[in-house]
Amino acid sequence: MRSQIYRTASRTVKSLLSASRSSPLLCEGRTAAVATLTTFRGRIPTVTSFHERAQYKSSQSGWLSAALTLPAAAYMLHDQEAHAAELERTFIAIKPDGVQRGLISEIISRFERKGFKLVAIKLVVPSKDFAQRHYHDLKERPFFNGLCDFLSSGPVLAMVWEGEGVIKYGRKLIGATDPQKSEPGTIRGDLAVVVGRNIIHGSDGPETAKDEIALWFEPRELVSYTSNAEKWIYGAN
Ligand code: DAT
Ligand code: MG
């Protein structure tokens, strides 16, 4: 347990430090949060939330008011359970057919209700060149050109979801590539009929997830935060 806490803490510190390097505007709040980490022995994972509140306050009305909120924030977070799971991230996109059919909220709610956390989202119309980069591993397939034409034909809702096992389980929520073979209860099984209009994309492994997140999002577009629900979603008895 203790080593998990230290692992999570060091991850938090690393991400805070790298974020502060990449974003000078946020530097003050983040550095202060890292410094505070050393004073919160035994309650390390709450620092992320604390930091986010401090950063928010800092961006709203300056560091002074953030400093004034510290005792209250520390008190409010005192009861939060330490969530020590190593959380992973996956890239999920609702393709133009899913967007046009009004399935955004239906699809998002399935990931949300499961307990996964949304950490990035944007609506974009990818260029054909961008679509070809996204599907580069399929460039030898006969449907590659049509697939890239289709992905770049309209708005795509690009997202990053976070959670324990989210890459593999995200694929389970999505269902088999061909909706004719997807189980009922899955997104494609319930909401799509043919492979050429299967409404959603999900990364198929850790390496793909990393590459696809980097292709679609700038690091600063990924929002690290602690959800209030996490203490109810994660835990061991
Ligand atoms: P998935 O989207 O399940 O990861 P994939 O990576 O093999 O599947 O293929 C990417 C997309 O290409 C898929 O969502 C739909 C399209 N596609 C796959 N196989 C196809 C086929 N046989 N005919 C037409 N389109 C296909
Ligand atoms: Mg794939």
The yes-or-no verdict on residue 88 having pLDDT over 60 is yes
201 a catalytic residue: yes
The yes-or-no verdict on residue 113 having pLDDT over 80 is yes
Rounded to the nearest whole angstrom, what is the distance from the C-alpha of residue 199 to the centroid of ligand 2?
A: 13
φ, ψ of residue 211 to 5 degrees: the values are: -65, -45
Higher pLDDT, 10 or 230: 230
Q: How far is residue 78's CA from residue 67's CA, in Å, rounded to a whole number? A: 17
Higher pLDDT, 83 or 122: 122
Q: How far is residue 141's CA from residue 4's CA, in Å, rounded to a whole number? A: 44
Name the residue at shortest CA distance from atom 19 of ligand 1: 195
Rounded to the nearest whole angstrom, what is the distance from the C-alpha of residue 203 to the centroid of ligand 2?
A: 6
Instruction: Convert 78-112 to b/e letters by CB count within 10 Å (16 or more is b).
Output: eebebbbbebbbbbbbbbbbbbeeebbeebbebbe
pLDDT, average across residues 200-227: 98
Q: Of the candidates 172, 151, 168, which has an alpha carbon nearest to the alpha carbon of residue 209?
A: 168
Rounded to the nearest whole angstrom, what is the distance from the C-alpha of residue 119 to the centroid of ligand 1?
A: 26
Q: Which residues line ligand 1 (CB under 6 A)?
A: 138, 143, 147, 177, 195-196, 198, 201, 204
Rounded to the nearest whole angstrom, what is the distance from the C-alpha of residue 87 to the centroid of ligand 2?
A: 22
Structure tokens at 89: 């991230």
**Among 147, 186, 204, which residue has the most ligand 1 atoms within 8 Å of its CB, making it the best to mutate?**
147
The number of the ligand 1 atom at minimal distance from the alpha carbon of 171 is 3
Rounded to the nearest whole angstrom, what is the distance from the C-alpha of residue 162 to the centroid of ligand 1?
A: 24
**Among 195, 208, 211, which residue has the most ligand 1 atoms within 8 Å of its CB, making it the best to mutate?**
195
Chain segment 9-34, per-residue pLDDT in tens = 444 434 443 444 444 433 333 332 32
The number of the ligand 1 atom at minimal distance from the alpha carbon of 202 is 4
Q: How far is residue 197's CA from residue 215's CA, in Å, rounded to a whole number? A: 23
What's the pLDDT score for residue 215? 98
Residue 167 belongs to what H/E stretch? Answer: helix 166-174
**Among 177, 198, 208, which residue has the most ligand 1 atoms within 8 Å of its CB, making it the best to mutate?**
177
The yes-or-no verdict on residue 45 having pLDDT over 50 is no
Residues near ligand 2 ion, CB 5 Å cutoff: 204
What's the pLDDT score for residue 214? 98
Chain centroid, CA 132 distance in Å: 23
Structure tokens at 28: 């003050």
Choice among 31-45, 59-73, 152-166 with the minimum mean pLDDT: 31-45
